[in-house]
Amino acid sequence: MSIDRRNFIKIIGLAGASLAVGDSFGAISEKEGEVEFRGMLYDSTQCLGCLACEKACAESHKLPEPKDEPKAGIIRKTSESQRSAINIFNTSKGEVFNKTQCMHCNEPACAAACLTQAMFKTKEGPIIWRGDKCMGCRYCMVSCPFDVPKFEYHSSNPIIQKCDMCYDRIITGKIPACAEACPGAVIFGSRRELIAEARKRIAQKPKDYYEVIFGENVAGGTANLYISSVPFNEVGFNTKLQNTSYPALSKGFLYTVPSVFVLLPPLLLGIHEATKNKPSISEENE
């Protein structure tokens, strides 16, 4: 990929184009990204509930190992010391496992909410939290439709705890700790490949699977995808979430800001000038 870009810039250079043009072309090709969004597919029909993913996650991020076991009827939530959690649900098809962690939305509400870009969607797909930028306003927690970011309320130097899809491992070519530890239910790959794989599994065994891929469309699409034997509201997901992206909700407001900023001051100045011609009234009142 980088070779292509280098060649491209070289050609531009040879053609005598200015350096500035070359630079901007380089920047654009980087922004468009030849890196595909990565994601994880969780196939709950393959999950054994062995908790290897949770243990690997805790070990990989130096967090305490969760001691409680999943039990139907009790929901184990992710917390400021736990990034992913396995749960058992009593469903129409018996007990079904489900794994929760950050969904890594394509258009994340948390990153759109963050005023310091501490919550940041990387070009590889994971959304990471950057402590040197975060000011702890917790607007990401308010905005996230999946309630993923967790805040350390009992610390004088609190952090936001959330799954970062093991970003440090991904950029060195490794796969996320949970996917590595899992015997077969969590698969790591590019989002496009994972959707194809999920579709294939559903098509091959239509009786074993519910026909929807959770994460393909929800909240504008997420990097983490789910297939299961039952509808997803039975395994703890809120299936009433909108299918368009959450940042789009505040887009309209943000787009009116520049127009207000341009139009309101001249209007105010105009009214000020128009009403100015009555000095006598003010003197009378005095």
Partner 1 sequence: MNNKDVSLAKDNNDGKSIPGFLWNEIKPKGKWLTPFNVISIPVIFIGIGIIIFRFWKGLGAVTNLSQEVPWGLWIGFDVVTGVAFAGGAYVVTFMVYILNQQKYHSIVRVTVLNGFLAYVFYAGALLLDLGRPWNVINPIIGNNFGTSSVLFLVAWHFMLYMIAELIEFSPAIAEWLGARRARKVLSSMTIGAVIFGITLSTLHQSGLGALYLMAKEKIHPLWYSEFIPILFLVSSVFAGLSMVIFEGTISHKVFFDQINEKNHRAQKEIVHGLAKICTGAMFAYFFLQFLVFIHDKNWTYLNTNDGLLVSYGDDWICAFTYGAILLQLSDQ
* Smallest separation, CB 110 to partner 1 (Å): 9
161: left (phi over 0), alpha (psi -120 to 50) or beta: beta
Exposure string over 75-106, b if 16+ CB within 10 A, otherwise e: ebebebebbbbbbbbebeeeebbbbbbbbbbb
Does residue 233 interact with partner 1 by CB under 8 A? no
Residue 222 near residue 104, CB atoms below 8 Å: yes
Which of 31, 62, 207, 272 binds partner 1 (CB under 8 A)? It is 272
Q: Which of 77, 60, 54, 232 is nearest to 149 (CA)?
A: 77
258: left (phi over 0), alpha (psi -120 to 50) or beta: alpha
* Smallest separation, CB 182 to partner 1 (Å): 26
* Smallest separation, CB 59 to partner 1 (Å): 23
Residue 52: how many CB atoms within 10 A of its CB? 18
Q: Which of 174, 184, 186, 182 is nearest to 39 (CA)?
A: 186
Which residue's CB is nearer to partner 1, number 204 or number 286? 286
Which residue's CB is nearer to partner 1, number 43 or number 66? 66
Which residue's CB is nearer to partner 1, number 92 or number 155? 155
The one-letter amino acid code at 261 reads F
Cα Rg of the chain, angstroms: 25
Which residue's CB is nearer to partner 1, number 128 or number 134? 134
Which residue's CB is nearer to partner 1, number 12 or number 159? 159
Which residue's CB is nearer to partner 1, number 32 or number 286? 286
Segment near partner 1 (CB under 8 A), from 1-9, 44-52, 145-153, 187-195? 145-153
CA dist., res. 190 & res. 223, Å (int): 9
Applying the rule CB under 8 A, the residues between 171 and 230 that interact with partner 1 are: none
Does residue 74 interact with partner 1 by CB under 8 A? no
Does residue 11 interact with partner 1 by CB under 8 A? no
Residue found by looking up tokens 């010391």 in the block: 81
Binding-residue total with partner 1 (CB under 8 A)? 62
Q: Which residues bind partner 1 (CB under 8 A)?
A: 77, 79-80, 109, 111-118, 131-139, 141-143, 145, 147, 150-158, 238, 240-242, 246-247, 249-250, 252-254, 257, 260-261, 264-265, 268-269, 271-272, 275-276, 278, 281-282, 285-286
